[in-house]
Amino acid sequence: MPRGKFITLEGGEGVGKTTNLAFIENYLKLHNIPVSVTREPGGTALAEKIRKLLLDKDSEAISEHAELLMVFAARAQHIKHVIEPTLANGTWVLCDRFTDATYAYQGGGRNMKNSTIEWLENLVQGILRPDLTLLLDAPVEIGLERAKLRSNLDRFESEKINFFEQVRRAYLLQAELHPNRIKVIKANQALIDVENELINVIGNFLR
Ligand code: TMP
């Protein structure tokens, strides 16, 4: 049984991750690829508990280091109990956010050093890296308008616009650093055009 592929979907707030995640899942299934969808932070019972703590905007102020370590604690559980066994079993994993989000939010947004994140990445992931990352990119104001239409804003969504500008910049920098793995998809266009770009990129990947 060949090992499954690990695909991640990334992007700032309100760029349409949920809609496009379902589209990608269906596209892979149409191609007879067994795929399991999961998310970060989360994906196991404990990791979902950590997610709740991270998103709770009524908690005591969470230090940058605590936030970073919580993200990686959740990730360690997710990798050990879900991602690795699934890939080993030959099933593909489609994950809503992964470590590029840490470079974007904790690195870009919270100004944590990339070398610190990299150290934790190596510790927690060993050699595990996504095989393909789809980065949905849109101007920050557009995404935030969409995010605000949803229910109550969580702890991250309640940040100021400058935070999201830094997140977006850090995501795009990740894409520049890893051009073979990370494909930037323009998210502020008609859904059908976003889907066509996704088909194009995933089609190339499958070939
Ligand atoms: P979601 O709203 O896309 O489900 O993600 C939850 C929040 O968690 C989102 O605002 C980004 C944040 N996050 C980080 O800050 N660092 C990370 O490593 C991950 C995976 C998510």
Residue 170's alpha-carbon distances to 49, 62, 78, in angstroms, are 27, 21, 24
- CB contact at 8 A, 116 and 28: no
Residue among 3, 23, 153 at smallest CA distance from 86: 3
- Cα-to-centroid distance, 91 and ligand 1 (Å): 24
Return the residue whose CA atom lies nearest to atom 8 of ligand 1: 41
- Look up tokens 């496009």; give the residue: 20
- What is the C-alpha to C-alpha distance for residues 47 and 41, in angstroms, rounded to an integer? 6
- CB contact at 8 A, 171 and 10: yes
Domain spans of the chain, in order of start: 6-206
- What is the C-alpha to C-alpha distance for residues 30 and 12, in angstroms, rounded to an integer? 28
Instruction: Kindly state if the Cβ of 40 falls inside 6 Å of ligand 1.
Output: yes
- Cα-to-centroid distance, 98 and ligand 1 (Å): 8
- What is the C-alpha to C-alpha distance for residues 85 and 14, in angstroms, rounded to an integer? 31
Instruction: Kindly state if the Cβ of 97 falls inside 6 Å of ligand 1.
Output: yes
Residue among 103, 74, 104 at smallest CA distance from 12: 104
Return the residue whose CA atom lies nearest to atom 16 of ligand 1: 102
Instruction: Kindly state if the Cβ of 175 falls inside 6 Å of ligand 1.
Output: no
pLDDT surpassing 90 at residue 88: yes
- CB contact at 8 A, 82 and 43: yes
Counting Cβ atoms within 10 Å, is residue 53 exposed (0-12), middle (13-18) or buried (19+)?
A: middle
Instruction: Kindly state if the Cβ of 9 falls inside 6 Å of ligand 1.
Output: no
Q: What is the DSSP string of 117-152?
A: HHHHHHHHHTT---SEEEEEE--HHHHHHHHHHSSS
For 20-43, the pLDDT digits (tens) are 999 999 999 999 999 999 999 999
Architecture of domain 6-206: 3-Layer(aba) Sandwich (3.40)
For 49-80, the pLDDT digits (tens) are 999 999 999 999 999 999 999 999 999 999 99
Token pair for residue 162?
A: 């400058």
- Cα-to-centroid distance, 12 and ligand 1 (Å): 9
For 122-174, the pLDDT digits (tens) are 999 999 999 999 999 999 998 888 888 887 889 999 899 999 999 999 999 99
